Amino acid sequence: MGYNWLNIIQNYLLPPTCLLCANAGEDNRDLCHSCYRHLTRNTQCCYQCAQWLEIPTLIPVRCGRCLSKRPAFDETVAPFIYQGAIQHLITALKFRADFKNARLLGQLLAQYLRQSTEPPELILPVPLHTSRYRERGFNQAIEIAKTVSKELQIPLDLNSCRRIRDTPHQTQLTAKQRRKNLKNAFTLVKPINTQHIAILDDVMTTGSTAHELATALKKAGAVRVDVWVCARA
């Protein structure tokens, strides 16, 4: 009851405002219905890596790349395509520290996850290397994961895994270069006694980061590792 009253008071004093068009937000989110309807959905994709498929299918299928070089993770949930408004929200969070965007992205991801996936035992945001964390001042995956964890009542793990290689920015790298760049980038510094884990990040481009982290988690005993991202590039 107290939490509901807190929401009512906050919405009265600071009513939700759409982060994209500045109109009134709806459903207790900083997003209006019109802007929400125009977000680009990732509706037909490979179930393992969430890559967009040119030919729609009624059953879950893997793309050619996942069939030929199977990733270490088992399934990817990516509700949106990394373009337009979603791209704007993610880049403004990452490079301008617009933390309201993290809350909205987390709400949108959690809404989709409630309807589409089996809940894991814990959520593990993709770690940043300490030098990258100092440079940016925060980890955008953690900021999004805080809202997802709260919305879905699934615990966060922020301490068991570290990124031990300071990989350079990968924007211009090919998938093969990214895989090489990220080899053995993560290590477990304490045991994770859970079988089903969800890795959480803002966006997936090639899946190389998720593959390396999932490899480390499965070596440590995880049976199933899913990937949750806001968008697929």
The 10s digit of each residue's pLDDT in 178-213 is: 677 788 899 999 999 999 999 999 999 999 999 999
Note the pLDDT of residue 10. 53
Please check whether residues 170 and 141 belong to one and the same domain: yes
Dihedral over Cα of 7, 13, 19, 25: its sign: positive
Please check whether residues 11 and 32 belong to one and the same domain: yes
Note the pLDDT of residue 28. 92
Please check whether residues 14 and 47 belong to one and the same domain: no
Query: What tens digit of pLDDT does each residue of 60-94 get?
Result: 999 999 999 999 999 999 999 999 999 999 999 99
Amino acid at 57: T
Query: What tens digit of pLDDT does each residue of 131-148 get?
Result: 999 999 999 999 999 999
Note the pLDDT of residue 169. 63
Q: What is the chain's alpha carbon radius of gyration, rounded to the nearest angstrom?
A: 18
Note the pLDDT of residue 170. 57
Q: Residue 214 is part of a domain; what is its CATH number?
A: 3.40.50
Over residues 111-127, mean pLDDT = 95
Please check whether residues 4 and 117 belong to one and the same domain: no
Please check whether residues 164 and 96 belong to one and the same domain: yes
Number of domains in the chain: 2
pLDDT band at 116 (very low <50, low <70, confident <90, very high): confident
Please check whether residues 17 and 117 belong to one and the same domain: no
Note the pLDDT of residue 119. 96
Note the pLDDT of residue 13. 62
Residue 40 tokens read as 């680009």
Please check whether residues 27 and 115 belong to one and the same domain: no
Please check whether residues 196 and 137 belong to one and the same domain: yes
Mean pLDDT computed over every residue of the chain: 92
Please check whether residues 46 and 34 belong to one and the same domain: no
Q: What is the DSSP string of the chain?
A: -HHHHHHHHHHHHS--B-TTT-SB--TTSS--HHHHHTS-B--SB-TTT--B-SS--SS----HHHHHS--SS-EEE--EESSHHHHHHHHHHHHH--HHHHHHHHHHHHHHHHHH----SEEEEPPPPHHHHHHHSS-HHHHHHHHHHHHHT--B--SSEEE-S-PPP-TT--HHHHHHHHTT-EEESS----SEEEEEEEEESSSHHHHHHHHHHHHTT-SEEEEEEEEE-
Note the pLDDT of residue 1. 42
Over residues 155-163, mean pLDDT = 97
Over residues 156-163, mean pLDDT = 97
Q: Name the residue range of residue 22's domain.
A: 1-38
Question: What share of the chain has pLDDT > 90, as a percent?
Answer: 82
Please check whether residues 67 and 11 belong to one and the same domain: no
**Looking at the DSSP assignment, which residues form a beta bridge with residue 188?**
161
Note the pLDDT of residue 181. 74
Please check whether residues 24 and 99 belong to one and the same domain: no
Where does residue 35 fall: left (phi above 0), alpha (psi -120 to 50 degrees), or beta otherwise?
Answer: alpha
Please check whether residues 54 and 85 belong to one and the same domain: yes
Query: What tens digit of pLDDT does each residue of 11-69 get?
Result: 556 789 999 999 999 999 999 999 999 999 999 999 999 999 999 898 999 999 999 99
Amino acid at 48: Q
